[in-house]
Chains A and B, each alone.
Chain A
Amino acid sequence: MVEIIPKPKAKTPPWFNILFYFSISLLIIAILSFFILNQLQKKATFNLQNLDELLKNTKTQERINLEKELINYQKKTDDFSYLVKNHNLTSKLFDFLENITHPAVYFSSLSFSSENGIVVLRGGTENFQTLGQQLSIFKTEPLIKEVNLSEVSIGREGKINFTFTLSLLSEIFK
């Protein structure tokens, strides 16, 4: 049977269209994003290459030589400081001994080693009293760690011969 009165067209629900256009937009955005990201990535790679080149140019041969030169100077000054710190002035030994030697005592020989700070003094004096006084001076001297008196003998003219072994503190030589 022929329909004389046409049926009204079935209406599409509006969310069908919204969803459709939304999905198209999403796809377009995704494609655009890909191209934008691709461009940004290319630019970033280019920048990175330039920066790598710049980094290489930062370390020029001239600058590296300067660095080596200064490191060498630093090493030298450190070594020099070490030597200054450990430098001993042996000449001070004589002033030190002259100041603490009894007027009636003389030393005929001296042997000193800075390695152990030991000085061996052979000498003579008039009597045991002055020898005792000298020993006492040495014992009361704070810069002398240890005193050892040995080889005490009476000489031809009644003089007393002796050997002192003194262990000295390194402060004397600074």
Chain B
Amino acid sequence: MNYRPILSAILIFITLILGLFLILPKYQDLKSSQIKIKEVQKEIKQWEEYFSNLEKVSQELKNYTEVLSKIDSAIPSEFSLPSLFNFIQKISSQSGLVLKEVGSVTASPISQNSNIQKNSFTVSLSGSYSSLKNFLSILEKSARFLEVESISFSSPTEKEGVSSFSLRIKVHSY
């Protein structure tokens, strides 16, 4: 009796079982690993490009150190009250005004989601109208980016001879 047809059937059956339960899962694992490899390679490439761009930007920023330091002084991380008042005193005498009083500082964020603080304070000055204009001109050109929120004054009385100015100034910080 010839057993070959039966053997053939058994072998094909074994091959099918092998294919279904060993080879196919292995193939699927390999495919999935290859996909993962491609994804990781792509991710590495993207990160490399990203960091390479960052390095380029960083190099380019070195040409703008002066501008960056201006930004730093416009919005400093630490708000120093004495240095600010010293600056106000300096520019008031520079412009021909007398600094009479500096009020307390009130701080509040410029908007709900912002971390920039608006620091407002009042100053009382005395002097002439032209001196006030000089004072404002210097104040507004300063690197600290000061801004006058409100201003009020009256013409001088004969007794005083000079005008009194009341200003609310704001300055920003983090």
The reply to whether A48 and B37 contact each other, CB–CB distance below 8 Å, is yes
B60 to chain A, nearest CB (A): 11
How many residues of chain A have a CB within 8 Å of chain B?
Answer: 58
Determine the interface band of chain B, counting residues with CB < 8 A from chain A.
35 or more
The reply to whether B15 and A26 contact each other, CB–CB distance below 8 Å, is yes
Residue of B nearest to A77 (CB): B71
Contact partners of A113 in chain B: CB under 8 A: 149-150
Interface check A129, CB cutoff 8 A? no
Q: Contacts A17-B4, A51-B41, A55-B40: A70 and B54 contacting too (C-beta < 8 A)?
A: yes
Interface check A111, CB cutoff 8 A? yes
Interface check B43, CB cutoff 8 A? yes
Chain B interface, DSSP helix/strand/loop, else mixed: helix
Chain A interface, DSSP helix/strand/loop, else mixed: helix
Interface check A61, CB cutoff 8 A? no
Binds A, one of B85-93, B96-104, B151-159: B151-159
The reply to whether B4 and A20 contact each other, CB–CB distance below 8 Å, is yes
Using a CB-CB cutoff of 8 Å, which residues 125-174 of chain B contact chain A?
A: 133, 136-137, 140, 145, 147-155, 172
Complex partner residue of A48 from B40, B48, B55, B114, CB under 8 angstroms: B40
